[in-house]
Amino acid sequence: MTGSNPLYDDPNLAASYARVTASNVCNAEYERPAVRAILGDVRDLDVLDAGAAAGEHSAWLLAGGARVVALDASESMVRLARARLGDAARVLQADLAQPLPLPERAFDLVLSSLTLHYVADWLGPLREFRRVLRPGGRLVFSTHHPSAALEPDDDYFAVRLVDDAFGDFAVEKVPVRYYHRPLEKIVDDVVAAGFVLRALREPRPTPDAHRQDAALAAKLRIRPWFLVVDAAAAPR
C-alpha cells in the first residue's frame, strides 16, 4: 500500500493510471522523454526502477539492454508490472519509506520517476539508493517541480503535504497527496545521502504534445511542472 493514494492502490484506478499514462502529455510527451534523454545508453546496466508502477520505464530499460529490478509499494501496480514485464524483470513489492530488501552494491543505476514526493522523509530512500549502488553508480529521479501547484499564500520553504486531485483517471477527479519540497531541500538531501549533483533539468513537452492537448502543452512550455535530478554516487 502507498498509504493514502487510491490512484495507485485501487486495482481499477491503477489500471486506469497505466492505460492513460502510456500515451498522455504529462508522462509520455513530457516526463519520460526528458528522463530517457538524461539516462542515455543503458545497455548492460543493472537498474533499479524504484516506484515503477505498471512498468513503462522498466519496459524501455529492458528494450535498451538493461537488467531491471522493478519495485513498487502498491500491490495493484506490482500485479500490472508482472503482467507486462513477465520474466524479463524481477518485480517486487516494497515501500521506499523502509529499508530496501536488496543487497548493497547491486546496481549501476537507480531510476525513481515521479515517486519520491510521496515519501515524507527523503533521506531514508536516498541513502538506501546510495547503499545499493556500486561505486561510480548513478541516481536519476524526477519529482514535482518546487514551483508547481504553489498558491500565492503557500510557504515555499516549508516541506508540506499537498492535498491535490488528478483528472483523466476516472469520471471524478481522484484525490492525491504528495509532499512539496523547496529546491534547496531537494539538493541538500541528495548531497547528504552521499551523492554529487550532476545536473538539474526542467523538462519541456515534446513537439508532438500539442496534438493531444494544445492548452496543456502551451502551459508546460512556459512553466515547469516536473524536475529531473541527475546525481552520481559520491566515493565513500
Ligand X SMILES: C[S@@+](CC[C@H](N)C(=O)[O-])C[C@H]1O[C@@H](n2cnc3c(N)ncnc32)[C@H](O)[C@@H]1O
Q: Which residues of the chain form contacts with ligand X (CB under 6 A)?
A: 2, 8, 21, 27, 51-53, 56-57, 72-74, 77, 95-97, 113-115, 118-119
* Euclidean distance between CA atoms 69 and 71, whole angstroms: 7
Nearest to 61 by CA among 51, 70, 74, 71: 70
Q: How far is the CB of 17 from ligand X (least distance, A)?
A: 7
Of the pair 121, 214, the CB lying nearest ligand X is at 121
Residue partners of 153: CB distance under 8 A and separation at least 6: none
Residue among 107 and 118 whose Cβ is closer to ligand X: 118
Q: Name which of 21 and 45 has its Cβ closer to ligand X.
A: 21
Question: Of 95 and 164, which has the nearer Cβ to ligand X?
Answer: 95
Angle CA(78)–CA(80)–CA(84) in degrees, nearest 5?
115
Quote the cell numbers at residue 28: 509520455
Q: How far apart are alpha carbons 47 and 59 in whole angstroms? A: 12
Taken as a whole, the chain contains a residue count of 236
